[in-house]
Amino acid sequence: MNKIELVPDERKKILKNPDLILLDKELLLALLKDSDFPDEENLVDIRNIFLKKLGDKVEKLKTTNSQIIRHAYENQLGIKKIHKCCLATIETKDIDSLFRFLCSKATEILGVDKIKIVVSEDMFSHSDIENCVLKPDREVSKYLEKIGITTGKLVRLKNVPEKKKITDEDIITREENTKSEAIISLLIKRELKGFIFFESASEATFSVDQSTDYLEFFAKITSKHLESLLYK
């Protein structure tokens, strides 16, 4: 058989992007047909190359599908946790029982390490509940404004830098092992009057690229219930 050589430019193009051949059905079928190659020294079995390429793509698809299934499961699990917490929230009969639930049982339901509450002194005269802190209304408003919380944006998610784990210039102190956090605001009669602070020792629990829809739903349910307890 006469030796056939590719035009240099075409050869460079194929070497740069082998998929030009491997993903071309007609060309690939032509290459895979039985042929008589007397010079086997330079013979390369392209079927093995194709099978490896195909195997790599299958593995990539399997990994992608596994990730999709995992995310779907985690999403469904998150919905169930939020709904369970919302139901337990609206079953509380007074402000003390609401705050006690949020600072204790809610942590187990939502799978976080710590929940703290900061509320305005203008609305509550005292609090003997652990992890529930009273602050001047102006201080609460200033802090929420600083972190970007508004009446239209009720939730903020964040990963905690190493240097800010123990202390912060903020009005609440983080736990030493906190690696991610969420803040949901308490909107009472269309005014921001406090917030609930979620802390997790896992970086994966809260991050800025996560959706906040379910936490916003929880923020609205909790705020409305608190408002009903305040003005019943």
Percent of the chain, pLDDT > 70?
74
pLDDT at site 185: 94
Task: Name every residue whose Cβ is closer than 8 Å to that of residue 219 and which is 6 or more positions away in sequence.
Answer: 154, 155, 184, 185, 186, 187, 196
Q: Please say whether the beta carbons of 122 and 189 come within 8 A.
A: no
Residue 108 CA, chain-centre distance (Å), reads 19
Q: Please say whether the beta carbons of 130 and 150 come within 8 A.
A: no
Weakest mean pLDDT among 70-79, 149-158, 186-195: 70-79
Q: How far apart are CA 110 and CA 113, in angstroms?
A: 9
Domain range annotation of the chain: 93-230
- Give the model confidence (pLDDT) of 175-225 as tens digits: 888 899 999 999 999 999 999 999 999 888 888 888 888 899 999 999 999
Residue 193 DSSP one-character state: E
pLDDT at site 167: 44
pLDDT at site 166: 45
Q: How far apart are CA 65 and CA 228, in angstroms?
A: 45
Weakest mean pLDDT among 35-44, 76-85, 205-214: 35-44
pLDDT at site 37: 52
Residue 222 CA, chain-centre distance (Å), reads 22
CATH class of the domain whose range is 93-230: alpha beta
pLDDT at site 56: 76
